[in-house]
Amino acid sequence: MALRATRRPMWMERPSIPTQGLKTLVLIVIVAAMLFPFVYVIAESFASERDVLGGGLILWPAHPTVQAYQQILAGGIVARALLVSVGITATGTLVSMVLTTTLAYGLTRTREVPGSRFILFAVLGTLLFGAGIIPNYLTIKAFQMLNTYWSLILPGAVSAFNLVIIRQFFMNVPREVIDSARIDGASEWHILVRIMLPLSKAVLAVIALFYAVGIWNEYFNALLYLNDASMWPIQLVLRQYVLEQTPLIVTSGNSFQLPPPQSVQMAVVVLATAPILIVYPFLQRYFNRGVLTGAIKG
C-alpha cells in the first residue's frame, strides 16, 4: 500500500470546526454502536442474581460471578456442542486449506498445463450461480452424508473467492525463483511447500481465518443435514436456547445458587463468539495491508 502523507499538504484547507466535530461525532457513534453490544453481553454473562434483581443497566456487574460459565462448562449440551464446533472447524479448515492451496497452485500455469484453463473457468463459474437449497440437500443425501459431520465440512471446502485470492499471490511470486528451483531439481510439491507457501504466509493466514469463521458460524447446513440434536454444533444450540428460548437443561450445581438464566444465555453467546474475538486481534493487521485488496483489484 502506498504510504499516505500523514501531514496535511499545503493546498488542503483545514476543515472547519463544525466539520471536524461532525466527523468525530459520526465516528464515535459508529464505533460505539459496534462495540457496545459486545461489552453489554459480556458484562451480563458475569452478572449474578443480585445484579439482575437490582435492575437497571448492567455494564459492570457489582457482584460478578463465573457461575454461568461453570454451569455450562460442567458438561451437558452446550459444552458438547462447543467441542463439536471446535472439531469440525479444525478439520474443515484443514481440509479446505489443503484443497484450495493445491488447486490454486495447480491453476497457476494455465498456459502450460493442458486442461487447467478449463478447470479455472469451471471454478470461477461457481461464483455466478448456486444450485439452491433443495438440490444441495438431495446431493448430500445421494452421497449418504446426511447425519454426518462431513456434510458440514466438504460442500464448502473449495471457495472460488478464496481460491482466486491465493492463486493471485502464487502468480505474483517471481518466475525466476520458481524456474531456478526447478533447474535445481525441485519437484512441484517442493515448489509449493518450500517456496509458495512460505512466501504467502500472510494471505494463507487470512484465508484460513475466512474458512474457520465460516464453518464456526454456520448453522443452516447443520439444521438441514443433521437430524440428531446431540450432534449439533454450538450455533444451532445457541439458536435453540437463546433465540427460541427453549429452557437450557440444568446439568449440575446447587439448586439454591443457580446463576440467573439470562446470564447463562449470555455466557453461551460469549462462548460462541470467544474464538473469533481471540483470533481476530492477531489477524486484523493483515486486513489493512494489501493482502486482500491486491487480489480483488486484479
Partner 1 sequence: MELRRADATLVPRRRTRTLRARIWRERWMYLFLVPGFLFVVAFRYLPLLGNVIAFQNYSPFLGFSGSPWVGFQNFTGLFTNPDVWTALWNTVVISGLQLIFFFPAPIALALLLNSLMSDRIRRAVQSVVYLPHFIGWVILVAIWEQMLGGDGLVNQLLRNHGLHTVNIMANPNLFKPLMVLQDIWKEMGWGTIIFLAALTAIDLHLYEAAAIDGASWWGRIRHVTLPGIRHIVVLLLILRLGAILTVGFEQILLQEPAVGATAGQVLDTFVYFQGVVGGDWGLSAAVGLMKGALGTILVVSANWLVKKMGEQGVF
Cα(230)–Cα(228) distance, integer angstroms: 5
Helix 201-217 vs helix 261-288: crossing angle, to nearest 10: 160
Identified binder of partner 1 from the candidate list 146, 171, 193, 258, rule CB under 8 A: 171
Closest CA to 158 of 107, 203, 106, 97: 97
Tell the smallest beta-carbon distance from residue 230 to partner 1 (Å): 19
Which residue's CB is nearer to partner 1, number 76 or number 106?
A: 106
Which residue's CB is nearer to partner 1, number 112 or number 249?
A: 112
Tell the smallest beta-carbon distance from residue 244 to partner 1 (Å): 8
Tell the smallest beta-carbon distance from residue 65 to partner 1 (Å): 19
Binding mask 31-50 for partner 1 (x = CB under 8 A): x-xxx-xx-xx--x------
60 binds partner 1 (CB under 8 A): no
290 binds partner 1 (CB under 8 A): yes
Tell the smallest beta-carbon distance from residue 209 to partner 1 (Å): 8
- With 0-12 / 13-18 / 19 or more C-beta atoms within 10 angstroms meaning exposed / middle / buried, residue 258 is middle
Cα(223)–Cα(63) distance, integer angstroms: 38
286 binds partner 1 (CB under 8 A): no
29 binds partner 1 (CB under 8 A): no
Tell the smallest beta-carbon distance from residue 132 to partner 1 (Å): 4
| Long-range contacts from 258-262, C-beta under 8 angstroms, 24+ separation | 258/49, 258/67, 258/71, 259/48, 259/49, 259/65, 259/67, 259/68, 259/71, 260/47, 260/48, 260/49, 260/52, 260/68, 262/44, 262/47, 262/52
199-218 residues near partner 1, rule: CB under 8 A: 213, 216-218
9 binds partner 1 (CB under 8 A): yes
Strand, coil or helix: 14: coil
Identified binder of partner 1 from the candidate list 29, 133, 177, 229, rule CB under 8 A: 133
Which residue's CB is nearer to partner 1, number 129 or number 256?
A: 129
Beta strands (DSSP E) in the chain are none
Give the type of residue at 269.
Answer: V
Centre a 10 Å sphere on the Cβ of residue 146 and count the other Cβ atoms it contains.
15
161 binds partner 1 (CB under 8 A): no
Binding segment (CB under 8 A) for partner 1, from list 86-94, 178-186, 233-241, 247-255: 233-241
Identified binder of partner 1 from the candidate list 29, 220, 229, 246, rule CB under 8 A: 220
